[in-house]
Structure 1
């Protein structure tokens, strides 16, 4: 904690670290009796907001509601449940998503249109909506109690763990919680804070996967700027992650800026703020790849020397998504031909005859042809928990990085019985 990173530093507090934001997580028994499964994020004032969503043609019911509520670029609360995706269940799904927003609005006294809704879990099963709504009422009561305590001035120094429980509540097959908070000192004095939490482990692929991401900031930033920034951040982070090649129905990343710091970033501060948001998204994206269902290894694919940024991205994502590359990584087999092949079907423009391929720092192919290398050293590199694959295309100046994981027997075990 407290280590400076490009002008900002990590702090405690997660999604509720920025001024004027609160978060809680509760157990509603949606799928499992002892799991946190309803999260509520709340801003004391109406916030500027933006969202990016799955590109899957099949979309969950809460996603449509959130898109509609965000048309004016304003929001004040986000309610999320795990255990049920609320997807592909007809009118009942629309009614359930609306009911979640209505109950939040009723208990927190915010406009229903300022409540955003997200869900994650099993597709095609009707939401146990009564349990969900009971959970939302409990979350609202706890959250409002925290607000009142703050207004009165808290008498104890014990940290509020509500934000952490909110991060736990959005998890499904995740094995680790994904939450961070950063603080950025500004040139005009004062600080801007950024909080975030995300979930994702399986059904993850570019164009987002079964992943949810939420960011909060107390900076004063217009929704149009947030929308542009979030889209850029997603392109460099969540859309560069692949676990298994599947893109889900519920994927959503939202950001709220409530301005309670009183700081509108100057030009210089805005550059740092944008880099901080993008850095946060990359950190969360890498955590999702590390936590891939059944994964034993984290894979980073760095592509350089591309003609265009899009070519670099296509190749990096294609290699990360290749089942054969992922299986070779699991088996610690330096089969570089699979890497070059995956680049070849990525739909990018490059010359295979001038490509160099590296496992870690060891070259395994040069000019599109294999070179002599130590199989023992290669196995040692591939046996590490984190493995980097590098491709030098030698045809341009653009580069990109994607993240993924290996493909293990455990992945099949998890997904062979996910519904039951």
Structure 2
């Protein structure tokens, strides 16, 4: 088993909105609605109780798992969600307690819908964002509380390839200056001498860029070439770990394959570890050893790639995999497509219980009440679902 290079424990990343929420009017409206529905559905039960006492009784029964009508269940769920945030300062929950370990020389893929917190997790691991809670270990060393100055030596070992190759490069700097800037900053070279230039050209050649391009500016390159410049910049310091934040999403399919193959070749040559963030499940399967699926700031499933694609256990993972296009016409016709209804809930006021229950086709009352435990159901296969593996 290779050595654990990077590990996170319970990482939380909340961003304050600067606002407070006052739910008095909404809570009163919901309580009145809940009591009215209860009296209509169950007119003979507890007719003598006052409205406040009746509401408390209904809520107590709801928490104990008593089955009410769908309308009453929805009202009580909303009442509980809103009562939990009454008067509290509001936060965007980008990452909500994520445990992750990445080994030397492996690639961990990370997939999920836009806004689920993938990029935030990558930047928090690199401490470009300070984590709200949790711990980050790199090479067995706890770096969670490291200051910017103390992180500087580690920047040589931890790098990032940004999503947009157009905005990630300084338009006023040449390719040589962009790739070599960190080399001078970290003292690898003292000045822009011949050795410095030869080293930059060597890195460029490794990433598929020609020597003569060293004096050109970013606007003179295509999207694929710009991404190669970004990779060369990340590779220049010879890091051990690289966050690939949607490194191929802005590129044409033919260029994507070139960049993916380049990343795999560099991994074999230098023993790099990647956190590969992407929307494209086909690309993630091609490059990753293990894959994590995120939804609304939570990790809902994590497994090696073969187990995840052959035996997905979380309904959200099943829905994502069902959306992958099939080139085989016969398979395409027989493949069951799972259509998720509705939009992703707010990551400020999140649903109670399982965050996915508002869109889940197999959700039950327990899903609305209780947060599912992220547990190991098979060796190396983790899932957060009360009904993992159930047919949809």
Which TM-score bucket, shorter chain as reference? under 0.3
Compare the two structures and name the one with the higher strand fraction: 1
- The structure with higher relative contact order (CA 8 Å, sep 6+) is 2
| TM-score, scaled relative to structure 1 | 0.24
